[in-house]
């Protein structure tokens, strides 16, 4: 309690001190254009939604390598990782389960159809030529369908530019034998806008199992990634988009070897691969009053784990013990009609087929699990601005799932700009749903006595944004609440007399009762004299399983983040960040507590010339080693330095 009050006090004092230094004649507009809230480009102040935008400049300033590191500093978001880089990583948006939030990269869904809960493999997601990240909080199934109960993370890479070539080369290294190489290029050449990047990352890492429990073997991680983003203008009205995304990684992991079956060092490792492609034809007609897009999107994931225990020799062998392959193919159509300057209609249809093939030794010879599901969705959304002040948005979606029948969701939102736009009052209500995953339906852990129902939710929020001092200071306060029904959980059958356990002795999936998440988020962002930036945010979250009255696992009640940076015109910079994650429980029974954690990072860069920069950082300055999840270790203090060249 004292720790989080201290963090809040520091944040408040910093905000007040910075606010006193702001000068109204140093104009800088914090208003942003976003695309995730309505699937069209809109000023954030008109969307009525709670959003955060992480820019390429933010990623550079904080020297972000793992995307989840900067997501963890975003209001309403919590990240849980089982050890060092590359280990299993989960994202909780406003208390929703990890598989209940949608992750997109350049319009490509990267949620893994082969994962038990359908979540994205976020541990492999590195910063590779990202232009910005938009985080949309709250149920968003009206526009995005299944998997969007908690919210949407939309990652957009660089494309185009003022000239034919902009090149960026980066190399860095540091503690834990960490190495990173990155090359990115973007530009515009005639009718072609392009962007692309290659990324290589390697680290010896730390023991995934907490070293303070006697585990000394480091679990290394290696990652290679590539992106491409093209737009070819055939005419002034017709264009073609081609996008691609590729990741290949290898991660050493720790497990629960016999005879004690407790978490400890062992020689297991995993290999992941994700390939995805996007092709779209765009048409802009009637002087831009009607735009249309037809797209085909495909992705293929492959996860494999190695390290089998030989019951005869009592030794591990490097044999494959698990694989999971998932595929997704989508066809999308979207149209946008502008009816005057103040009205816009967005409508569309989508059809998706997902597939699964998986098998593992623990399934005791039951054979591979295979499955598929097909869903077709239709949506429409109307947005209207009245008297240039009040923007109203309403939408509805109808989904027809091959296995679960139909489902309808709706959303309404309002944003009211007062006092010449310096005050924005906003509110919205929306629904969300998530169909059971293929693994939950078809694996040896499927429910033997009843068909799983789709998870459903409804949520609402009210909030206000205040712009001060010539829009250099933006303060935001939001209250939110979400109710969820039919959440899917796993019964491990340990010590229970459940009749289903006679058929599924190693456990099964089932629908539980209701859960509730509520709280508020506060955030303030400052821009001072074009050289000093500061930000502070605070989240108060209460996520409860209404069947038991207990807190949902791994959701902290309090989290807060604070940052301050100075950047000279030459590119030289100094900065510091403080992140606080409050105490929480690691399990649903609330019997395994996790201690609060405070992490401080120091950041610096120095311009050696117009096109060359050296940079460095200290991560976890005070060497906080609080376990991020029970039994797993946290990265200790680390020192890193690198060189960046631009052409």
**Burial call 42-61: b when 16+ CB within 10 Å, e when fewer:** bebbbbbbbbbbbebebbbb
Residue ranges covered by each domain of the chain: 2-646
Q: Residue 400 to residues 356, 375, 409, 433, 484: CA-CA distances in angstroms?
A: 20, 6, 12, 13, 21
List the beta bridge partners of residue 607. Answer: 613
**124 CB-near residues (< 8 Å, 6+ apart):** 86, 223, 225, 247, 249, 272, 274
Asked whether the beta carbons of 154 and 104 are under 8 A apart, the reply is yes
Round the CA-based radius of gyration of the chain to a whole number and report it. 24
Q: Mind giving me the DSSP string for 295-313?
A: EEEEEEEEEEEEEEEETTT
Task: Report helix, strand or coil for 100.
Answer: helix
Q: Superfamily assignment of 2-646 in CATH? A: TonB-dependent receptor, beta-barrel domain (2.40.170.20)
Token pair 């969307």 is found at 47
Q: Residue 588 to residues 211, 485, 505, 592, 602: CA-CA distances in angstroms?
A: 25, 17, 21, 9, 35
- Give the C-alpha separation, 606 to 489, whole Å: 50
Closest CA relative to residue 599, chosen from 563, 575, 623? 623
Burial class of residue 9 (count of CB atoms within 10 Å of its CB; 0-12, 13-18, 19+): exposed
Closest CA relative to residue 315, chosen from 267, 254, 347? 267
Asked whether the beta carbons of 122 and 68 are under 8 A apart, the reply is yes
Go through the chain and tell me how many residues it has. Answer: 647
Going 137 to 155 to 528 to 60, the CA torsion angle's sign is positive
Task: Report helix, strand or coil for 439.
Answer: helix
How crowded is the C-beta side of 214, counted as CA atoms within 13 Å?
4
A 10 A CB-CB count for 366 gives 11
Alpha carbon of residue 128 to chain centroid: 15
pLDDT for the residue numbered 20: 33
> Average pLDDT for consecutive 10-residue bins of the chain (647 residues)?
41 37 37 90 93 94 96 96 96 94 95 93 95 96 93 97 96 97 97 98 96 94 98 97 97 87 91 97 95 97 87 73 94 96 95 94 70 95 95 96 86 95 95 92 90 92 94 94 91 79 88 91 90 95 93 96 93 95 94 96 95 97 96 96 96
Model-level pTM? 0.92
pLDDT for the residue numbered 14: 40
Token pair 């120095």 is found at 606
pLDDT for the residue numbered 428: 97
Alpha carbon of residue 343 to chain centroid: 31
- Give the C-alpha separation, 299 to 26, whole Å: 47
């Amino acid at each position: 309690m004292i720790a989080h009050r201290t963090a809040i006090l520091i944040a408040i004092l910093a905000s007040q001190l910075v606010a006193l230094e702001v000068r109204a004649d140093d104009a800088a507009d914090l208003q942003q254009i976003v695309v995730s809230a309505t699937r069209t480009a809109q000023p954030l102040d008109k969307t009525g939604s709670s959003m955060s935008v992480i820019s390429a400049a933010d990623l550079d300033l904080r020297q972000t390598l793992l995307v989840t590191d900067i997501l963890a500093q975003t209001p309403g978001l919590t990240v849980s990782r089982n050890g060092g880089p590359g280990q299993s990583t989960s994202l909780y948006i406003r208390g929703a389960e990890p598989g209940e939030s949608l992750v997109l990269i350049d319009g490509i869904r990267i949620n893994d159809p082969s994962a038990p809960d359908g979540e994205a493999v976020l541990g492999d997601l590195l910063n590779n030529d990202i232009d910005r990240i938009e985080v949309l909080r709250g149920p968003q199934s009206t526009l995005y369908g299944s998997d969007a109960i908690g919210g949407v993370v939309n990652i957009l890479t660089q494309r185009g530019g003022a000239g034919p070539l902009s090149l960026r080369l980066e190399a860095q290294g540091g503690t834990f034998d960490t190495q990173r190489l990155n090359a990115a290029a973007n530009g515009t050449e005639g009718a072609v806008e392009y962007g692309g990047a290659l990324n290589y990352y390697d680290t010896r890492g730390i023991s995934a199992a907490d070293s303070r429990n006697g585990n000394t073997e480091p679990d290394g991680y290696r990652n290679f990634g590539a992106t491409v983003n093209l737009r070819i203008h055939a005419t002034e009205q017709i264009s073609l988009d081609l996008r691609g995304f590729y990741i290949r990684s290898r991660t050493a992991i720790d497990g629960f070897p016999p005879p004690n079956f407790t978490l400890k060092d062992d020689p297991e490792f995993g290999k992941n691969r994700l390939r995805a492609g996007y092709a779209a034809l765009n048409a802009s007609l009637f002087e831009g009053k009607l735009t249309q897009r037809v797209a085909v999107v495909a992705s293929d994931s492959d996860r494999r784990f190695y390290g089998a225990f030989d019951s005869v020799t009592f030794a591990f062998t490097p044999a494959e013990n698990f694989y999971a392959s998932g595929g997704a193919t989508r066809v999308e159509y979207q149209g946008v009609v502008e009816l005057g300057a103040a009205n816009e209609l967005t409508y569309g249809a989508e059809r998706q087929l997902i597939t699964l093939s998986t098998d593992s030794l623990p399934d005791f010879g039951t054979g591979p699990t295979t499955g598929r599901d097909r869903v077709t969705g239709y949506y429409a959304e109307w947005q209207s601005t009245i008297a240039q002040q009040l923007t109203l948005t309403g939408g509805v979606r109808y989904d027809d799932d091959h296995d679960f029948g139909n489902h309808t969701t709706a959303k309404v939102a309002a944003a009211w700009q007062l006092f010449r736009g310096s005050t924005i009052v906003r509110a919205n209500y929306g629904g969300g749903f998530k169909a059971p995953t293929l693994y939950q339906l078809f694996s040896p852990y499927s429910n033997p006595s009843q068909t799983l129902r789709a998870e459903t939710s409804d949520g609402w929020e009210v909030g206000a944004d205040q712009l001060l001092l010539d829009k250099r200071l933006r303060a935001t306060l939001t209250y939110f609440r979400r109710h969820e029904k039919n959440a899917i959980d796993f019964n491990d059958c340990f010590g229970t007399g459940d009749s289903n356990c006679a058929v599924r002795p190693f456990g099964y999936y089932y629908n539980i009762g209701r859960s509730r998440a509520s709280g508020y988020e506060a955030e303030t962002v400052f821009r001072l004299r074009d050289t000093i930036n500061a930000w502070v945010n605070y989240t108060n979250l209460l996520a409860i399983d209404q069947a038991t009255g207990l807190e949902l696992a791994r959701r902290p009640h309090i989290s807060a983040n604070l940052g301050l940076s100075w950047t000279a015109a030459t590119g030289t910079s100094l900065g510091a960040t403080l992140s606080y994650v409050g105490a929480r429980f690691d399990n649903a029974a609330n019997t395994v507590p996790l201690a609060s954690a405070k992490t401080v990072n120091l950041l610096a860069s120095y311009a050696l010339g117009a096109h060359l920069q050296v940079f460095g950082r200290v991560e976890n300055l005070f060497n906080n080693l609080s376990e991020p999840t029970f039994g797993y270790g946290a990265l200790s203090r680390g020192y890193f330095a690198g060189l960046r060249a631009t052409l």
